[in-house]
Structure 1
């Protein structure tokens, strides 16, 4: 891989399978690291990952073995031929990773949110030909994600990629980190050649959902998967619930379907275009309806201004939300989807009325 272009390498690999980065959440011991690596060397995994420094949410948890684990990864490469990957959180980590010839460096979600830390890392690895992957920030902020990538690019780091690991939310969810698929889709739209790797382990926070999230990622044309893998996951020192055994990784990769990038038959393409035209027409209708709704909202704003009434009417808003949630469910629409749409409409309505009332 050395000195090759990351995008070109991935495109060539895609002929057989997506990029697979696998290994334990934490490098617990030399024996553990080598045991897992040898189990993975005959799978679809190309890169072996292991957490050397572990930024934990609260003190007292296992926070990694640090630099003493780096020689273990060197042995992984020597004995198995797998490339190696670790997370770096500061310039010191970055310099040590380069010193031990780690092939793939990734910047974690907690670091991505801090432009100062990202800049220090970028300065430390300036002009490197290593693969450098940037995880999305904890919060759903596309500009912050792009900013971290740009800082590295401006320092001559050319083999760049992104890792989609989902986003924290106060809302209850089946996910540890909500995928919010539209955000990596927007990133892909803005930078079509930027490789994006999906991290189903951190999105799910458990083993059961990893296949479904991985399949969705491939359906959305993401370039690979980073899956936490451990020979004895129940005994793992960190994130035990989301790690799978190497044999389960093999099963998942055998079951995943890699979709064709485009329609190949003229008849199928013609049918798709007809359906897309229907979508375009419906989108126009939606925009017209929203515009008409906002005109009514403005009239409501004028009435409130005349009577000196507050913009927010909680009872009315809760009544609307309950009604649309119930109606949406009968029409096969998820509550989460309807709630997001109508909260956005409500916020826009409030903004319209605020402008009118405050002149």
Structure 2
């Protein structure tokens, strides 16, 4: 699949992307009243760095009797915002009727939310409604941490004839409490990008963080990872917002965040021209050497695991030994801390190693 660049989303007379810079989308989580939407967007539009204004019109909620959006009347307000600011506008669609109404009200960009992407039937219905239409579509990651499901949603829209697309990383549901509303699991977004390299990748720090104080650091990490843009929820008075109040910022705070961001514009070609690429290659060579040694040590360890499994069988011992398992998972993170390495990282590695050790021991065949 080959996707169009973000610059193709904009009218020919637009000066956006005359140089490499991110796509910034901002606006309230929900359109609440004509005044709230217009006032918020007029303030945001003063910032030339923001190219697209957003607002939720239909809001899928986990439980009924919560605010579920103002409905299609909000599209009229959004169109007024477009006329008043000259900016492009975007909203979420969750079914064919939404697509029809959004296009009727001159919505420039559609996005599909996590709750829709998780359902292939819904994605196919939306895809069918987009056939023959030339409109950019942003596909959020599904709630589940499942790259195949995310890719499947993107493929359905692409097969409908849409090549102006982007993936929006908004984090994933996970067990346990973390500082995030939705665990970022950055490696999954990177995996998607590696599979679909021409697909623009955007980040939604509002939904990942869930708290406005986390929006800047998440945004900066996205820039460091070479994401091509951000969608940040912005409200004239976030504390009074009708939905997701804690993760919205004021237009003034949005401007501060965007001004503070460091955008990584360097590339290998620039380094080579400046004669600075040798150090990069030298460091990579050293990493490759150490990685090979790590793999060789894995081989040596797993050979010992095989011998251990044989010994346990010969002496009628069970493969899994709780005390040993507990000792490994207590000692390795402790070693990591003494060496100033993230203990959670080391725990995750040894969990994988232990799983492979159990697999090898249980799959060893006895001679008959």
TM (norm. structure 2) is 0.91
Q: CA deviation at 1:12?
A: 5.5
CA RMSD of aligned residues (A): 2.0
The reply on whether 1:15 has 2:19 as its aligned counterpart is yes
Task: Say whether the 8 Å CA contact 2:58–2:92 is kept in structure 1.
Answer: yes
Task: Say whether the 8 Å CA contact 1:105–1:133 is kept in structure 2.
Answer: yes
1:208 match: secondary structure: helix
Matches of 1:120 and 1:62, distance apart in 2: 25
Deviations 1:267-308 (A, max 9, x none): 421111100101101111111111222222222222333444
Q: CA deviation at 1:208?
A: 0.9
1:158-177 aligned within 5 A = 158-177=163-182
Alpha-carbon spacing, 1:49–1:358, altered in 2? closer, same or farther (3 Å): farther
Alpha-carbon spacing, 1:261–1:146, altered in 2? closer, same or farther (3 Å): farther
Match 2:277 to one of 261, 265, 269: 269
Matches of 1:109 and 1:358, distance apart in 2: 49
Task: Say whether the 8 Å CA contact 1:304–1:357 is kept in structure 2.
Answer: no
Q: CA deviation at 1:175?
A: 1.2
The reply on whether 1:333 has 2:330 as its aligned counterpart is no
Q: CA deviation at 1:323?
A: 0.6
1:1-359 aligned within 5 A = 5-9=4-8, 13=17, 15=19, 17-43=21-47, 44-263=49-268, 264-265=270-271, 266-356=274-364
Q: CA deviation at 1:9?
A: 3.8
**After the TM superposition, which parts of structure 1 deviate over 4 Å for at least 4 consecutive aligned residues?**
none
Deviations 1:88-128 (A, max 9, x none): 11222222222222111111111111111101100011132
Structure 1 unaligned runs (5+)? none
Task: Say whether the 8 Å CA contact 1:305–1:356 is kept in structure 2.
Answer: no
Q: CA deviation at 1:178?
A: 1.4
Task: Say whether the 8 Å CA contact 1:6–1:131 is kept in structure 2.
Answer: no
Task: Say whether the 8 Å CA contact 2:20–2:265 is kept in structure 1.
Answer: no
Alpha-carbon spacing, 1:122–1:307, altered in 2? closer, same or farther (3 Å): farther
Q: CA deviation at 1:149?
A: 0.4
Matches of 1:237 and 1:16, distance apart in 2: 36
Deviations 1:179-232 (A, max 9, x none): 111111122222221111100011111011111111111111111000000010
Matches of 2:106 and 2:316, distance apart in 1: 68
Alpha-carbon spacing, 1:290–1:65, altered in 2? closer, same or farther (3 Å): same
Matches of 1:358 and 1:34, distance apart in 2: 74
Task: Say whether the 8 Å CA contact 2:8–2:164 is kept in structure 1.
Answer: no
Structure 2 unaligned runs (5+)? 10-14
Alpha-carbon spacing, 1:40–1:344, altered in 2? closer, same or farther (3 Å): same
Alpha-carbon spacing, 1:95–1:349, altered in 2? closer, same or farther (3 Å): farther
Alpha-carbon spacing, 1:31–1:301, altered in 2? closer, same or farther (3 Å): same
Instruction: Report the more deviating stretch, 328-337 or 257-266.
Output: 257-266
Task: Say whether the 8 Å CA contact 1:103–1:130 is kept in structure 2.
Answer: yes
Paired residues in the alignment total 356
TM (norm. structure 1) is 0.94
